[in-house]
Copies of this chain bind each other. A is one copy, B any other.
């Protein structure tokens, strides 16, 4: 039994920089033809020069011209039309972080004053640049995303031509917002389709499954599964894969993030097969994203077969989801063509 997927895309990816980038870049480029690359470096990506230089470092690290890094800026309300237009096709989207809400987000937005944000968000609307949002308030950890839905609604109403991507949604409330606003879209991670808080903290505590937003209730996971498995046209895959060294995860203050890049595609095939929805995976993993973002990814055709794959314990010291476990599918063949 095999399945062939064309140009898988990861619409939310943390590639980091320096040694970590070199260590894990091919974990994405091996099975994806492109990815929306998050800008939360230290310092964050906020200029054209930084963006191009980072893109070049990524391409050097993957060494794979059939993998396209779609670059993003770290949102600031001071961005204006002229500034954003100067990026041309180098800029695919802009990522908005509420201040202090996750790794390296200290310089993010405090308060969501529409008039302060208007010049930048209207410029993005005109330029067709999607706004990718980490949607959490600073409230109680299980309520943060549901509380943020009212901010999504405020933004969606005030800027009806702005494509707003609710990133890594984890709740039924965010799923519910999808269909109420034409300009709200969403990415969903692999891990939020698979786990709940029970998997993180219901038995032993599992630091490698600790992420932001934190995994929620079964009813939330079921709502996410429903729109992913049906390949809801406003939803696409975004791994939010976030590598941290093993010692930073298994420690007194464990950093947030699940590292899924190397196994995400295979685990998604397993998941969609389990639910009898393999026929919808091409849309969830690529077609929907191509339509939402208007991108043309490199042609990368991946054939997977139903044969067991043992997941490594780590990738250069970064522990992946399913470490040391077996997945029921594996990559059989890849045909690539360059984006250059």
A residues in contact (CB < 8 Å) with B: 140-142, 196-198, 200-208, 210, 214, 217-218, 250-256, 319
Contacts and interface: CB of A to CB of B under 8 A. Distances in A.
B140 A202 contact: yes
Nearest to A215: B201
Given A141-B198, A204-B255, 9 more contacts: A141-B201, A142-B197, A200-B201, A201-B210, A204-B253, A205-B207, A205-B210, A205-B255, A207-B254
A329 to B, nearest CB: 24
Main secondary structure of the interface of A (DSSP, over half): loop
Q: Which of A201, A203, A217 has the most CB of B within 10 A?
A: A201
A216 to B, nearest CB: 10
A206 B253 contact: yes
A214 B205 CA distance: 10
A304 to B, nearest CB: 28
A98 B217 CA distance: 22
A142 B218 CA distance: 11
What is the total number of copies of this protein in its complex? Answer: 2
B205 A140 contact: no
A21 to B, nearest CB: 23
Contacts of A200: 201
A249 to B, nearest CB: 8
B201 A252 contact: no
Contact of A256 (B197, B205, B319): B205
Contacts of A254: 204-207
A59 B319 CA distance: 44
A256 to B, nearest CB: 7
B252 A197 contact: no
A205 B207 CA distance: 7
Nearest to A206: B253
Nearest to A323: B252
16 contacts: A140-B197, A140-B217, A141-B197, A141-B198, A141-B201, A142-B197, A142-B217, A205-B205, A205-B207, A205-B210, A205-B255, A205-B256, A206-B253, A207-B207, A250-B251, A250-B252
A195 B151 CA distance: 28
A210 B140 CA distance: 17
Given A200-B201, A201-B214, A252 B207 contact: yes
Contact of A140 (B140, B196, B214, B253): B196
A24 to B, nearest CB: 19
Nearest to A141: B202
Contacts of A217: 140, 142
Nearest to A219: B140
Nearest to A251: B250
Nearest to A210: B205
Contacts of A255: 204-205
Nearest to A253: B204
